[in-house]
Amino acid sequence: MTNLSGFTPNEMMTIAAARALSNDDVCFVGIGAPSAACNVARLTHAPDITLIYESGTIGTAPNVLPLSIGDGELCETAITTVSVPEMFRYWLQGGRISIGFLGAAQLDRFGNINTTVIGDYHKPKVRLPGGGGAPEIATSCKEVFITMKQTTRGMVDKIEFYTSFGHGEGGNHRERLGITTKGPTLLITDLAIWKPDPETKEFTVASMHRGVTRDIVQETCGWKVRFSERLEETPPPSELELTTLRELQARTERAHGRKKGA
């Protein structure tokens, strides 16, 4: 039997993110936590979800989690594979993707993402992996979900570089720039589920995971946190959800020759 009392914050984050996806979604998947969440959804409540990766694979159903967008597992299990220009121009910019799933190195209260650089751009403290397809995903998908671990280094009052545009300065900033998609509509962390305020677009805590307090949420966030008036507790993982995630991770570790915890 699965030990439901012993799930980790990262497991809760992944499962909460998976629950947000529906059977009818066409989802542009990022590597890492987004990939785990999307595949848990596919293996549980959303078997007909269409998963698309940046390399051009459409309708993937990997048995293990890919190490990168170029992992052969994606192409082998895809319904079809198209060129990257077709993926971006026809599928993404053509408005055919319902959900874009992104991670972030830095995030601000309006869902703007930095994955480019920490510090001065020309003399950085840290050079991050860059945007890849994330800037296009952030503006062209009908809506965007974000997953990340809460830390004051990651969730900051002001990001140091705008890699992927969220809600900009808040309010109707996207609309003023001529961006017609919804932008970030959900932020799932290892502590809570956040949703943008309908008017200001500032991320607000809608639900906290079991055992998490308001103080913990604030201590791990770099801006003054707003909490919903109808604050809820995130339902803990079910046996099916937790077993599915752990078996997927175990298969991935065996496939890539890593021992658990390595």
- Give the CATH number of domain 4-255; options: 3.40.1080.10, 3.40.920.10, 3.40.50.620, 3.10.180.10: 3.40.1080.10
Which pLDDT score is estimated for 5? 55
Predicted confidence (pLDDT) at residue 259 exceeds the cutoff of 80: no
pLDDT over 80 (residue 258) = no
Contact predicate 114/103, CB 8 Å: no
The pLDDT value given to residue 38: 95
Residue-wise pLDDT tens digits, 26-62? 999 988 888 999 999 999 999 999 999 988 999 999 9
Task: Please give the Cα distance from 225 to 223 (Å, whole number).
Answer: 6
The pTM of the full predicted model, rounded to 2 decimals, is 0.91
pLDDT of residue 188: 97
pLDDT value, residue 175: 96
- Least Cα distance to 154 among 209, 108, 100, 205 occurs for 108
Domain coordinates in residue numbering, the chain: 4-255
Residue 2: both structure tokens together: 């699965």
Query: In the prediction, which pLDDT does 99 show?
Result: 97
Which residues does 241 contact at the CB level (< 8 Å), separation at least 6? 15, 18, 19, 40, 44
Q: What is the DSSP letter of 164?
A: B
Q: What is the mean pLDDT of residues 172-201?
A: 97
Q: How far apart are CA 153 and CA 114, in angstroms?
A: 12
With pLDDT > 90 as the criterion, what percentage of the chain qualifies?
Answer: 84
The one catalytic residue in 54, 136, 202, 241 is 54
Q: Is 76 a catalytic residue?
A: no
CA 175 centroid distance within chain: 23
**Rounded CA separation 155/222 (Å):** 5
Q: Residue 249: how many CB atoms within 10 A of its CB?
A: 17
CA separation for the pair 66, 35 (Å, rounded): 8
- Rounded to the nearest integer, the mean pLDDT of the chain is 92
**Count of CB atoms within 10 A of residue 242's CB?**
22
pLDDT of residue 164: 96
In angstroms, the CA 203 to CA 196 distance is 4
Q: How far apart are the first and last CA of the chain?
A: 24
Q: Which of 80, 52, 39 is nearest to 252 (CA)?
A: 39
pLDDT band at residue 70 under the 50/70/90 scheme: confident
Q: What is the pLDDT of residue 132?
A: 86
pLDDT tens for residues 123-148? 999 999 888 889 999 999 999 999 99
